[in-house]
Amino acid sequence: MAIALGANRYGKSGIRLATVDRDGERHAFTDLTIDVRLEGAFTPAHAEGDNSAILPTDTMRGACYALAREEPVGTPESFGLRLTTYLLEAAPAAELATVSLLQQPWERIAGDHPFTFSRAGGGLRTAIVSRGRSRDGDDVEVAAGVADLYVLKTSGSAFTGYLVDRFTTLPSAPDRILATSITATWRYTRLGLDYSQCADDVRRAVLDAFAGHDDSRSLQHTLWVMGEAVLASCPDVGDIHFSLPNQHHVPADLSPYGMDNPNRVFVATDRPFGVIEGTVTRDQR
Amino acid sequence: MAIALGANRYGKSGIRLATVDRDGERHAFTDLTIDVRLEGAFTPAHAEGDNSAILPTDTMRGACYALAREEPVGTPESFGLRLTTYLLEAAPAAELATVSLLQQPWERIAGDHPFTFSRAGGGLRTAIVSRGRSRDGDDVEVAAGVADLYVLKTSGSAFTGYLVDRFTTLPSAPDRILATSITATWRYTRLGLDYSQCADDVRRAVLDAFAGHDDSRSLQHTLWVMGEAVLASCPDVGDIHFSLPNQHHVPADLSPYGMDNPNRVFVATDRPFGVIEGTVTRDQR
Amino acid sequence: MAIALGANRYGKSGIRLATVDRDGERHAFTDLTIDVRLEGAFTPAHAEGDNSAILPTDTMRGACYALAREEPVGTPESFGLRLTTYLLEAAPAAELATVSLLQQPWERIAGDHPFTFSRAGGGLRTAIVSRGRSRDGDDVEVAAGVADLYVLKTSGSAFTGYLVDRFTTLPSAPDRILATSITATWRYTRLGLDYSQCADDVRRAVLDAFAGHDDSRSLQHTLWVMGEAVLASCPDVGDIHFSLPNQHHVPADLSPYGMDNPNRVFVATDRPFGVIEGTVTRDQR
Amino acid sequence: MAIALGANRYGKSGIRLATVDRDGERHAFTDLTIDVRLEGAFTPAHAEGDNSAILPTDTMRGACYALAREEPVGTPESFGLRLTTYLLEAAPAAELATVSLLQQPWERIAGDHPFTFSRAGGGLRTAIVSRGRSRDGDDVEVAAGVADLYVLKTSGSAFTGYLVDRFTTLPSAPDRILATSITATWRYTRLGLDYSQCADDVRRAVLDAFAGHDDSRSLQHTLWVMGEAVLASCPDVGDIHFSLPNQHHVPADLSPYGMDNPNRVFVATDRPFGVIEGTVTRDQR
């Protein structure tokens, strides 16, 4: 029987890198979790057990720590750019290197303390850098994102006018709680940006749009409005993808106790949950 | 600014459906977790807040329970086929319905008891059914899989001869522990199969190949051998994709205590972990 | 064979209660996860299957939602006080009712928006209320706490001078990263307090002590200093218990790459982790 | 202000130890996760930052691997006995050493293969060994247990006749699904037992009692019957503690669809869940 190797990739996940910048009077602390992947001409490793083209995943791990010592880590995006450059140099068989980075934010406590921090709320900062081997560098892609950004509004959200069939029992909700955990990834259309500034801008656009959208008719509707706000405020963002779980807050049925419940008391549910995913992009027409 | 909606989909995740078949003297218990997704012409919902084409995700949830009452659930694959048929009927704007099912296996305890069960080991059974609207039904795809199938071998596995660069410190391992949690998904080339028999066959081929491959030179190498075994033994499988974390067991360094360690005592590690992913397919040339 | 029932209790866990206070121009949102337990004379339920004294755990669940409608939830402590009162009334066989509450903090976004919130950082607020049946009410106990409060300092922490034996390889650390996730519970010595003010005060005392303790010689040492600060600043706290995982940040060994590492680059580890637990109390001598 | 140190302990959690016994033709694989705790005269460490009595938790970790090399690990109980002996020798200030062990079971695959394994179902084996300093060794305690043993019965279980109050809406259930994840810990009344045989016996007694109890009137009732069976079949067990979440399977309400549901289709729920905890002991009267 003839068989062939289809799409394949390999790498290391969950590399936990922390760095301290002690150069100033105030320390800076950076906390990253890094995933690395290589794709390319790795058929001999699979079909023949020939490892000569394989850069061990343990080396990918070691490289993260070594590169973090060679130069300051900087932004997740810039560290991803450096790491992908190294990976393509180190692994000649690789045609594409992809690095995903997740940064846990820490904030200073106790009155802007110089070296003491607490985990900040507001979700995680993410970046994805991929790099191919084209000579002119046009196959480097930098994307950034946020993850686990929990937001909720207690008014300004409805879900009505939907399709009804024989299995539909959902009551129409002219005023409901809208709650989600925003995971978004946006792609930049060029390199060399101030990535931290861009990330702050996108994040602010997302939150302001979520809060300001006081006529939300669905989570899809809010997704669109948030995407529009990002593209309007950030010219270097080409598109943005959202993955939005709908974390249902169901009004408690208090009628068995002879009580009404005018949208005051809710059962927060875990499962099942709705999932709304979509990309908002610039219209190319 | 002109913006457009790119790829999008929505649905319900984590629908927990259990059924009891009480028809015979021995009960059968089925335990499914179901994810539903619809894709199609949903731009008005996003751009205008027009929900008239939206089948609520709550209805998807309800349909799972109702369909399970209309007819016995049967295999995950057959239930996915029924559920996708319903979804396309119920949501005219949908062009593609995808249902992912995860079945928790339960085995009878206490000497083949008629109605008492314990969660079985050996991983979870999965299925993914997608259905489009072509008239001849040729856009129905059935895939099946296993997830969280933890396997380990204490001999017959090496990792040597790999590429060495300035950041490589990994010692060559002529005899190591190989441990992974197999998640695999294979696609069927036709419908109407005995899906439970096929799943058993693939599973047996995977496990026998893992155990029998006593010259493993890498996890990639073992992936290939397992894929080959599946394609050889199951003519209705077109390809199989594996996602294999490499759960490293590192020999403990006992030299500070004046002890040797000839592959007897290991540190089992969580993070970081290697990830090997690849598809083995029939050669079409 | 004669057998007997020893210590036993039962209840409901994971009750997810959310409420919206819509009375003012700005909504207030409260998000609680509640665990309920009853202890008492429940031997007949166990030994004879006699449920006549059993308040169903489903009723405990329902009571949370109903009581939240009867009156505003208020603080976790006050809601726990109300709920335990109800439980002892409803279940005559119960001799002790205990309610544990975990409050997820949400903060206003988008410039102090009236009805839009984001999950705040800084850990969770907890409360534990237990109530017995003594006539004078002296067996009501209110405890409060924080959970998952991640803090970290990059200087001012050492671990040296410890006991060394044949299995000790840990290098002495005169300057290390100290990182932990604070879970603390403190008991109040009287009722009728402003529980939110007290919780704020304790929390501030804990964080200020963590930050200000710039001569930490161990996590035990810091535990003591934090406890001392709480008891000094909060006269109504009788004792405080800390559970402190030591989330190790190990300097990366870069010597194989010919690099030094003067406390700049760290491997953040998950497992194993140290655990330091202790109670600081007022000296009764 | 005078403050004092109350109850305190410290140690290491999540030590992941795996060993391979290669002495015979068939390898044996042992997979343990170990938690270590010391209690004793550790006030100077807290109050003065004096670490001279502190055995580092890193040394506890190292000792696990070293002791596993000095002699075969054997049962979790016997390894816990060795480890506590070491700990009290190494840490003179400690008055009590406690070691908790969790063993992941692995079973041979592919026809009783000599060195290939798969994770087995049926829950985890646990042991807790504590040792004090009394001269005659009478303060050594060995307990054993199972964890995460998921069991379920589709008949033979009822919940009726319970107390009804103003917040009770639960329908009486003469025939329901009973599902739980058994976590149990039993204490031995003497040392020197065949701990694996005892664990097998207890486990079989628990499962047979769960299955055979075809008149269960509550989870409390089943707890009692399981405890009674263990004490009847295992003379060296002094008592047994169960922690039993009640994993509710609620009959789906299909009436909105015009369907009945005679106990065929269920919503499996995660939260909230009931919790039943109790100890069954030998009657000392």
pLDDT tens profile A252-283:
999 999 999 999 999 999 999 999 999 999 98
Chain A contacts to D (CB-CB under 8 A) = 166-167, 169, 256-257, 270-271
CA–CA min distance D85, chain B (Å): 18
- Distance of alpha carbon C199 from alpha carbon C205, whole angstroms: 10
pLDDT at D7 over 80: yes
Q: How far apart are CA B231 and CA B211, in angstroms?
A: 17
Domain with CATH 3.10.270.10 in chain D: 10-133, 145-285
The C-alpha atoms of residue A234 and residue A188 are separated, in whole angstroms, by 10
Pairing of strands C94-103, C124-131: antiparallel
CB-nearest partner of D152 from B117, B150, B257: B117
DSSP 8-class letter at B45: H
Q: pLDDT tens for residues A216-266?
A: 999 999 999 999 999 999 999 999 999 999 999 999 999 999 999 999 999
Residue the block writes with tokens 């409608």: C69
Instruction: Verify whether the Cβ–Cβ distance A20 to C154 is below 8 Å.
Output: yes
> How far, in Å, CA of B205 to CA of B210, rounded?
8
Are A52 and B246 within 8 A, CB to CB?
no
Q: What average pLDDT is seen over chain A?
A: 96
Query: CB D109 to CB B156 under 8 A?
Result: no
**Partners of residue C53 in chain D, C-beta under 8 Å:** 163
Which residues make Cβ contacts (< 8 Å) with residue C137, sequence separation at least 6?
Answer: none
Q: What is the pLDDT of residue D120?
A: 93
Q: Nearest residue of D to residue C61 by CA position?
A: D272
pLDDT, tens digit (0-9, with 9 covering 90-100), for B190-214: 999 999 999 999 999 999 999 999 9
| Chain C residue nearest residue A266, CA to CA | C18
User: What tokens does A205 get?
Assistant: 């656009």
From-to residues of CATH 3.10.270.10 in chain C: 9-133, 147-285
DSSP A19-85: EEE-SSSS-EEEEEEEEEEEEES-HHHHHT---TTPPPHHHHHHHHHHHHHHS---SHHHHHHHHHH
Question: How many other CB atoms are found less than 10 A from the CB of residue C262?
Answer: 10
Gyration radius of chain D over CA positions: 23
What pLDDT is stored for residue B136 in this prediction? 77
Long-range contacts at C169-172 (CB < 8 A, ≥ 24 apart): C169/B256, C169/D58, C169/D59, C169/D62, C170/D56, C170/D58, C170/D59
Closest residue to B166, CB basis, from C169, C257, C271: C257
pTM of the model: 0.97
Residues of D whose CB is below 8 A from A257: 166-167
| Res C284: pLDDT | 75
Q: Give how far C168 is from chain B: nearest CA, Å.
A: 9
Residue A265 is predicted with a pLDDT of 98
Torsion, Cα B84 B89 B93 B98, to 10 degrees, reads 0
How do residues A118-140 score in pLDDT, each as one tens digit?
999 999 999 999 999 987 777 99
pLDDT of residue C37: 98
Catalytic-labelled residue, pool C19, C33, C57, C85: C57
Q: Which residue has the tokens 């109980």?
A: D77
Q: Which of A13, A167, A176, A284 to mutate to test the interface with B (most CBs of B within 10 A)?
A: A167
Q: Is the dihedral of CA B35, B38, B39, B45 positive or negative?
A: negative
D241 is catalytic: no
pLDDT digits (tens, 9 = 90+) for A77-118: 999 999 999 999 999 999 999 999 999 999 999 788 999 999
Size of interface A-D (CB pairs under 8 A): 9
Distance, first Cα to last Cα, chain A: 48
Please give the share of chain A, as a percent, with pLDDT higher than 70.
99
pLDDT at residue number D91 = 98
φ/ψ bin of A128: left (φ > 0), alpha (ψ from -120 to 50), beta (otherwise): beta
Query: How many CB contacts within 8 angstroms connect chain A with chain B?
Result: 264
Length of chain A: 285
Task: Give the CA count within 13 Å in the CB-facing half-sphere of B225.
Answer: 20
- Active-site positions of B read 12, 57, 248
Instruction: Provide CATH code, domain B146-285.
Output: 3.10.270.10
In one-letter notation, the amino acid at residue B185 is T
Owner of token pair 């994810």? B35
Task: Please report, in angstroms and rounded to a whole number, the separation of the first and last CA atoms in chain C.
Answer: 48
In the predicted structure, residue B229 carries a pLDDT above the cut 90: yes
% of residues, chain B, pLDDT over 70: 99
Residue B266 reports pLDDT greater than 80: yes
Q: In angstroms, what is the C-alpha Rg of chain C?
A: 23
- The Cα–Cα gap between C279 and C145 comes to 13
pLDDT band at B135 (very low <50, low <70, confident <90, very high): confident
Inter-residue contact B241 to B184 (CB < 8 Å): yes
**pLDDT greater than 90 at residue D24:** no
Task: Give the CATH number of domain C147-285.
Answer: 3.10.270.10
* Mean pLDDT within B244-261: 97
Tell me which residue of B141, B113, C47, B27 sits closest to D218, measured CA to CA.
C47
Active-site residue D75, yes or no?
no
Q: Are B108 and B151 in contact (CB under 8 A)?
A: no
Q: Determine the distance in angstroms separating the CA of A115 from the nearest CA of chain D, rounded to an integer.
A: 21
* Out of D6, D232, D275, closest to residue C13 by CB: D275
Q: Which position among C213, C241, C248, C249 bears the catalytic label?
A: C248
Task: Name the strand (E) or helix (H) holding C101.
Answer: strand C94-103
Mean pLDDT, chain D, as a whole number? 96
- A6: helix, coil or strand? strand
Amino acid at D41: A
Domain D145-285 sits in CATH 3.10.270.10 = yes
Q: Which residues of C touch B271 (CB under 8 A)?
A: 270
- Distance in Å, alpha carbon of B225 to nearest chain D alpha carbon: 15
State the DSSP code for C157. Answer: B
What contacts B143, CB < 8 A, 6 or more positions away?
A: B127, B128, B129, B185, B186, B187, B188
> What is the pLDDT, as a whole number, of residue B114?
93
From D107's Cα to the closest Cα of chain A, the distance in A is: 28
**What is the topology classification, in CATH, of domain D10-133?**
Urate Oxidase (3.10.270)
CA–CA distance, A205 with A182 (Å, rounded to integer) = 13
Please report the pLDDT score of residue C275 as a whole number: 98
> A9-133 domain in CATH 3.40.50.720?
no
Catalytic annotation, pick one of D19, D33, D57, D59: D57
Active-site residue identified among D213, D241, D248, D249:
D248
Give the H or E element holding residue C28.
Answer: strand C28-40
Residues of C in contact with B169 (CB under 8 A): 256
Give the residue range(s) of CATH 3.10.270.10 domains in chain B: 10-133, 146-285
**pLDDT higher than threshold 80 for residue B137:** no
Mean pLDDT value of segment B74-86: 98
D78 vs D63: CA distance, rounded Å: 15
Residue B283 has pLDDT above 90, yes or no: no
Alpha helices in D102-218 (DSSP H): 195-212
Q: Which chains share 3+ C-beta pairs under 8 angstroms with D? A: A, B, C
Residue carrying structure tokens 């959208």: A213
Contact state of D8 with C277 under an 8 Å Cβ cutoff: yes
Q: Who among A11, A16, A59 is closest to B275 (CB)?
A: A11
SS3 content of chain C, % helix, strand, coil (to 5): 25, 40, 35
pLDDT on residue D198: 97
Neighbours of D204 (CB within 10 A): 16
Return per-residue pLDDT of chain C as tens, 285 residues. 689 999 999 999 999 999 999 988 899 999 999 999 999 999 999 999 999 999 999 999 999 999 999 999 999 999 999 999 999 999 999 999 999 999 999 999 978 899 999 999 999 999 999 999 987 777 999 999 999 999 999 999 999 999 999 999 999 999 999 999 999 999 999 999 999 999 999 999 999 999 999 999 999 999 999 999 999 999 999 999 999 999 999 999 999 999 999 999 999 999 999 999 999 999 876
D153 is catalytic: no
